[in-house]
A and B are shown apart, each in its own frame.
Chain A
Amino acid sequence: MVVSFKLNGIKREAIVEADTTLYKLLRELGCYSVKCGCETTNCGLCTVIVNNKSVLSCAVLALDVDGAEIETLEGLESEALEFGLCMADEGSEQCGFCNTGFIVNVVMMMRELDEIDRESVKKYLAGNLCRCTGYQGQLRALEKFIERKRGIKI
């Protein structure tokens, strides 16, 4: 079956099976930033943006995104890199494996939340698990990033 969509701003078409997940399709299309960590929709590693909402690509059927706009870290460029560098400055990228899904969700959080504080940040990102950092270093990166973007201390 054929599915067509916009991936990082570019029109794409792919032939997929009924049960192909968006996760699998995106990796086949070269979006290696998208990772899988659990298969039970618990970890957040496979987070991508579909129609301006962050979702778990391991649970999305490829055929369900027909006509959708999809964004992965590969397409988020400066929006994502600025925060990525905040992570690097804290050493909180660590192994890096959960970074990509996490950064995508941070980008989405900045788009979605008009009002932001420490608690709402933690809640919004609760679905992004990390085993290396204990989250505190990520939070320091968020503090710096949000202060820079919004001029507020969380």
Chain B
Amino acid sequence: MYIANNYVRAKSLEEAWELNQKKNNKIVAGNCWTRLGHGNIGTIISLKDLGLDKIESDKEQIKIGAMVSLREIENNKEILESFGNCVQKAVESIVGVQFRNLATVGGSVWGRFGFSDVLTVFLALGAKVELFKKGIVGIEEFIEMDYDRDVLVSIILPKKGLKASYDSVRLTKTDFPMLNCCVARNGEKMRVVIGAKPTKARFFDCDFNEESDKIVEQFVFGSNLRATEKYRKSVAKVLIERNRRAVM
């Protein structure tokens, strides 16, 4: 656990942003990942009082506040109705219920972690990321951005009538994925996202009938403690095909 000197509950996004401009300060949301650090934090910035813990849905989109927990998106009826169970499947293996009650959507996306399950499914669903200063950007753009000092406000899932399926392989059922994959179908087109390669998720847009081998070639795989490049490459094809079958 890190050492922190101060704690402020921001009264407005503006205040949170101001505080966050200081390099030593840090926005702490669920504290699940941040707590693993051993460094020093000047001021912990809490977004708890900013009402970012809501999921709002209209005809066009679902807007998920940055402080919404993973457990809430797992159980949210609107998300289930609009996208099937792919979001649920993507988060239900993450550690346990107690963890998912803490870990936030904002923290999960902001981290742009290689092992992220959330990023994989949101990339496939064509999510947008609302940042306080920069405004709304596509998640495709967001994952390529450097870590700056903006504030993540919400994630927007456009309702485009996608059919999506998510799958992953894990050493134990609640471990990080050795590889994950989400396929979202839009008519005759599809988007394939592969994460935990072990580097962060990337996507590939193609025809629904594209050959799996060709899709796999679009991704770069590597080795780490959890799995080898060879394994990931082999299983990537399997997960693509399984997901594709699920959205036939």
A127 contacts B98, C-beta separation under 8 Å: yes
- B7: which A residues are within 8 A, CB to CB? 1, 18, 61, 63
Name which of A5-13, A48-56, A90-98, A137-145 contacts chain B: A48-56
- A33: which B residues are within 8 A, CB to CB? none
A63 contacts B173, C-beta separation under 8 Å: no
Shortest Cβ distance from A128 into B: residue: B96
Name the distance in Å between B10's Cβ and chain A's nearest Cβ. 13
Query: Which one of B3, B28, B46, B99 contacts A127 once the chains associate, using CB atoms below 8 Å?
Result: B99
In the bound complex, CA of A109 to CA of B71 (Å): 13
Shortest Cβ distance from B96 into A: residue: A127
Name which of B30-38, B132-140, B150-158, B226-234 contacts chain A: B30-38
Determine if A152 is an interface residue (Cβ-Cβ < 8 Å). Answer: no
- A39: which B residues are within 8 A, CB to CB? 1, 35
Known contacts: A42-B95, A59-B30, A61-B44. The answer to whether A127 contacts B174 by CB under 8 A is yes
Name the distance in Å between B108's Cβ and chain A's nearest Cβ. 13
Chain A: residues with Cβ within 8 Å of the partner, total of 30
A53 contacts B101, C-beta separation under 8 Å: yes
Q: Which of A21, A64, A128 has the most CB of B within 10 A?
A: A64
Determine if B205 is an interface residue (Cβ-Cβ < 8 Å). Answer: no
Shortest Cβ distance from B172 into A: residue: A126
In the bound complex, CA of A109 to CA of B3 (Å): 33
A55 contacts B102, C-beta separation under 8 Å: yes
Query: Which one of A40, A105, A123, A126 contacts B36 once the chains associate, using CB atoms below 8 Å?
Result: A40
Shortest Cβ distance from A122 into B: residue: B173
- A56: which B residues are within 8 A, CB to CB? 32, 98-99, 102
A19 contacts B102, C-beta separation under 8 Å: no
- A40: which B residues are within 8 A, CB to CB? 36
Which residues 1-19 of B have a CB within 8 angstroms of A?
A: 1-7, 9
Determine if B97 is an interface residue (Cβ-Cβ < 8 Å). Answer: yes
- B5: which A residues are within 8 A, CB to CB? 18
B96 contacts A61, C-beta separation under 8 Å: no
Which residues 158-193 of B have a CB within 8 angstroms of A?
A: 173-174
Known contacts: A19-B44, A54-B97. The answer to whether A123 contacts B92 by CB under 8 A is yes
In the bound complex, CA of A148 to CA of B3 (Å): 47
B48 contacts A41, C-beta separation under 8 Å: no
- A84: which B residues are within 8 A, CB to CB? none
Shortest Cβ distance from A123 into B: residue: B92
Known contacts: A18-B6, A41-B35, A126-B96. The answer to whether A55 contacts B101 by CB under 8 A is yes
- A54: which B residues are within 8 A, CB to CB? 97-98, 101
Chain B interface residues (CB < 8 Å from chain A): 1-7, 9, 28, 30-32, 35-36, 41, 43-44, 46, 48, 71, 92, 95-99, 101-102, 173-174
16 A-B contact pairs sorted by A residue (CB < 8 Å): A18-B4, A18-B43, A21-B1, A40-B36, A41-B102, A44-B96, A53-B71, A54-B97, A55-B101, A55-B102, A56-B32, A60-B102, A61-B7, A63-B7, A126-B173, A127-B99
